[in-house]
Structure 1
Amino acid sequence: MALHHDESGVVGRHNVDSSPVGDESDVFDLRRRFCATQKKDFDRALREINAGRKCSCWGWYIFVTRPYVVNGEERGSDTNQDFALRDLHPNTLGGDDAARAYLRFGADGVDLRANYILIMTAVAEQLEQGVDPITLVGFIDDPKLRSSLRLFERVTRDGLDVEVNTVCCRALSALKEPRE
């Protein structure tokens, strides 16, 4: 099983235009960070999950989550920080607004919400069939998967996005993971 800690192996990290797009409707830089990488790698990620084992490095931009914060300070690798869903100033360590925007965003033929539903449905199906989460995504990406599911479950509660909330609850239940 690949350990997924060497960032040089991040599939979508290379050859992605990192220049700002200048799109005022994309204040969270979703197009550059997520649409470009998912356009290139989403099908591969979905195939790996459907096969029962993540084999390449794409967790940062498929299992998206807010910044990893310890004692009020952001931690994690440069790649983790680049792909974290962070809100606008002054709440840059939060990610709720960015997560909601993520679910409404699409560009370049990529629908981020649809992709999230597809990948998390595949995750839930594998877990429900008894695939161990560490086997499925690796021990490095297991916390990211859980954090992503908790974030999106929370921001879609109360009917804000029933379909996303349902798939998140389903996967969290299969993980025996509590809601936030």
Structure 2
Amino acid sequence: GVAALSPEQRPSALDLAVRAQAQARSGYAHALAEIQAGRKRSCWIWWIWPAYSKVRTTGKPQYSLHDAGAALAWLHHPTLGPRLLEITRAAVHLLEKGAPSTTVFGSAVDADKFHESVSLFAVASGGHPAAHAEGNALCLA
């Protein structure tokens, strides 16, 4: 398994997230459809809005981001960055219309995970001009 590989051989959190987001039943398209329908109903938050490992331990630590550099790499990734912005904008749209965060994210725990994740991305992008637009979009969350 992956645990038997050396650190250099292990897939990165970004590689793992791309693979997870490609799944039919819990991937990105499914997650986006749930958010657009107004409520997260299944388990996929780890590879959509990753945790910051310094703030939260999760049941899926392989998807966690360990520093601001990893968050910037996610934002600049050609697949993960645009998807993060798209689904975050969809969630923020619901919140701005008055939907309770516990409804949008399915639970108070996942609402907190969302806030922690987008906060990491916003802070990480703050000092980098190329990521400024992404950071501003995430600050809305």
Map of 1:106-121 to 2, 5 A cutoff? 106=78, 111-121=79-89
Q: Which residue of 2 aligns with 1:98?
A: 70
Counting aligned pairs with the same residue, the percent is 28
How do residues 142-153 of structure 1 correspond to structure 2 at under 5 angstroms?
Answer: 142-153=111-122
Q: Greater helix share, 1 or 2?
A: 2
**Whole-angstrom CA distance in 2 between matches of 1:101 and 1:20:** 25
Deviation at 1:56, TM superposition (A): 0.4
Change (3 A) 1:46 1:21: farther
- Which of 109, 113, 134 aligns to 1:164? It is 134
What's the CA shift string for 1:48-97, capped at 9, x where partnerless? 1111100000011101131154xxxxx63431x221112xxxxxxxx211
**Greater fraction strand:** 1
- 2:36 maps to which residue? 50
- Paired residues of 1:124 and 1:167 also in contact (CA < 8 A): no
Among candidates 58, 73, 76, match of residue 57 of structure 2: 76
SS at structure 1 position matched to 2:43: coil
Answer whether contact 1:28 1:98 (CA < 8 A) is retained. no
State the alpha-carbon separation in 1 of the partners of residues 71 and 58 from structure 2.
20
The equivalent position to 1:124 in structure 2, one of 92, 96, 102, is 92
TM-score (norm 1): 0.66
- Please give the TM-score of this superposition, normalised by the length of structure 2: 0.82
Deviation at 1:105, TM superposition (A): 2.5
Match 1:141 to one of 72, 88, 110:
110
Change beyond 3 A, Cα 1:27–1:38: closer
Shift of residue 19 of structure 1?
8.0
RMSD of aligned C-alpha atoms? 2.5
CA distance in 1, matches of 2:140, 2:42: 25
Task: Report the count of equivalent residues.
Answer: 134
Q: Which has the larger radius of gyration?
A: 1
C-alpha separation between the residues in 2 aligned to 1:62 and 1:47? Answer: 13
Q: What residue is the counterpart of 1:3 in the other structure? A: none
CA gap of 1:140–1:29, structure 2 versus 1, over 3 A, is closer
Q: 1:174 is matched with which residue?
A: none
The equivalent residue for 1:61 is: 47
Off by >4 Å, runs of 4+ in structure 1: 17-22
Q: Does 1:39 align with 2:19?
A: no
